Amino acid sequence: MENKKVLLGMSGGVDSSVSALLLKEKGYEVIGTTLELFAGSSCCDMNPQLEAKNVCTQIGIPHFIYNCKAEFKKYVMDDFVDAYANCRTPNPCIECNRHMKFGFMWKKAQELGCDFIATGHYAKTEYSETYGRWVLKKSENVKKDQSYVLWNLPKELLNHVLFPLAEFETKEEIRQLARKSNLKVANKPDSEDICFVPDGNYKKFLEKHSEIRPKIGNIVNQKGKTLGQHNGLYHYTIGQRRGLGIANPVPLFVLGFDKEKNEIIVGEEKELYKDKITVIDINLLLVDKIEKEMEVEVKTRYSAKLAKARIWQEENSIKVVFDEPQRAITPGQSAVFYVGDVVLRGWKNMFVD
């Protein structure tokens, strides 16, 4: 008999709460869990924990809280700090998904005898006859699709992951289901902040939790001419315009950094556009190796539009040539590649050629 026991990650929000309802309706034996990630954050203070537990009590399923603050600090917070210390702009949600929700939580699921784990992400997993393997796909809700932040799921785990919200086209449908079941979280707003930076001030977080401190340096153009000064590289990101404090006939934008010289390199907006990148830290989901040049669509950050490109593999890196130049490609962000609505692969680090 198929093991239909599933461990569901619950944040106390409407998405994971409705996921619990849907899984139970489909006959799964559901266990809810909330991970304690970082004391005082919006993801793991007592209110979300209590809200998740109350939802589980209301619909009649058990709920467990696991303390994984040490793991979260190691894999997510320390990575966040290291990225900014090395002039990269990180996406901590991607690391959290990899190490916590689909790493730590999967281990707990196995300990509890579960064959599946589930979350309230907007994405889809299914077996593809075309590719002869389980694949990760976009959700039906295009505006809320979160396949971008799930690219580094281990491919051997895909057939053990359930996304109950995959088929819903709007968030309002989710809220209506919650209201119908009288869940108190039905109208709870979505969280937009990084969980361990609830006030959005990542600079203050870096100064408090690392040795990163303000350090005055020069702002230069691509020819090396000094145009102004900055108070710390971590205050800036590629594509940034505001806060440079430079009077110039044409607006200037951050193009890059020279960490050794403690310099910010700026230029005109047209200089932000690049048509070639190299990517490393590869996770191939759809194929084991890229044998020849492929045409794909690429997202270089979560909010970016899909862009058409050609790609080919060179040992441990992938070369990417876009059909049209892309704006403000940022090291530290992930590049995620799609064939239709299927995630082909993703990469953590990108370098402009």
12 touches 51 (CB < 8 A): yes
How far, CA to CA in Å, does 155 sit from each of 8, 40, 89, 102?
A: 19, 33, 26, 11
Looking at residue 251, what is its pLDDT? 96
- Number of neighbours of residue 284 by Cβ within 10 angstroms: 16
pLDDT for the residue numbered 351: 63
Find the catalytic residue in 43, 44, 68, 195.
195
* Annotation says 93 is catalytic: no
Do 162 and 23 contact (CB within 8 A), yes or no? yes
Rounded to the nearest 10 degrees, the angle between the axes of helix 202-209 and helix 78-85 is 100
CA distance 26 to 34: 22
Per-residue pLDDT tens over the stretch 317-352: 889 999 999 999 998 888 899 999 999 877 666 666
pLDDT in tens, 263-322: 999 999 999 999 999 887 667 777 777 878 999 999 998 989 999 999 998 877 889 999
* CA 216 and chain centroid, separation: 31
Beta carbons of 190 and 215 less than 8 angstroms apart: no
For the chain, domains (ranges, CATH) are: 5-180 (3.40.50.620), 214-267 (2.30.30.280), 272-352 (2.40.30.10)
195 noted as active-site residue: yes
The bridge status of strand 335-339 relative to strand 342-352 is antiparallel
* Alpha carbons 350 and 353: distance in angstroms, whole number: 9
State the pairing for strand pair 63-67/29-36.
parallel
Contacting residues for 234 by C-beta, under 8 A, at least 6 apart: 84, 85, 203, 206, 212
**The pLDDT value given to residue 315:** 77
List of residues 6+ apart from 183 with CB closer than 8 A: 14, 17, 18, 21, 55, 58
Phi, psi (degrees; rounded to nearest 5) at 223: -90, 0
| Contact between residue 333 and residue 350 where contact means Cβ atoms under 8 Å apart | yes
Q: What does the pLDDT read at residue 41?
A: 44
Q: Could you read off the pLDDT tens digit of each residue along the chain, which spans 353 residues?
A: 366 999 999 999 999 999 999 999 999 999 999 999 986 544 444 578 899 999 999 999 999 999 999 999 999 999 999 999 999 999 999 999 999 999 999 999 999 999 999 999 999 999 999 989 999 999 988 889 999 999 989 889 999 999 999 999 999 999 999 999 999 999 998 877 788 998 889 999 999 999 999 999 999 999 999 999 999 999 999 999 999 999 999 999 999 999 999 999 999 999 999 999 988 766 777 777 787 899 999 999 898 999 999 999 887 788 999 999 999 999 888 889 999 999 987 766 666 66
Given a contact cutoff of 8 angstroms between Cβ atoms, the answer to whether 35 and 8 are in contact is: no
| 189, 192, 196, 198 alpha-carbon torsion, rounded to 10° | -70
What local confidence, expressed as pLDDT, does residue 77 receive? 96
Indicate yes or no: pTM above 0.85: yes
- In 3-state terms, what secondary structure has residue 7? strand
Residue 134 burial class via C-beta count within 10 angstroms: exposed 0-12, middle 13-18, buried 19 and up? middle
- 329: tokens are 């490609």
- The per-residue pLDDT for 43 is 46
Note the Cα 219 to chain centre separation in Å.
Answer: 30
CB 35 within 8 A of CB 71: no
Comparing CA positions, the residue from 126, 132, 66 lying closest to residue 100 is 66
Among 44, 68, 96, 114, the active-site one is 96
Strand, coil or helix: 54? helix
**Alpha-carbon distances of 330 from 45, 95, 238, 258, rounded to whole Å:** 32, 17, 6, 14
User: CA-CA distance, 231 to 221, in Å (whole number)?
Assistant: 17
CB 19 within 8 A of CB 26: no
Three-class SS state of 76: helix
C-alpha distances in Å from residue 324, one per residue of 31, 86, 88, 303, 306:
47, 29, 24, 18, 11
Given this model, what pLDDT does residue 45 score? 47
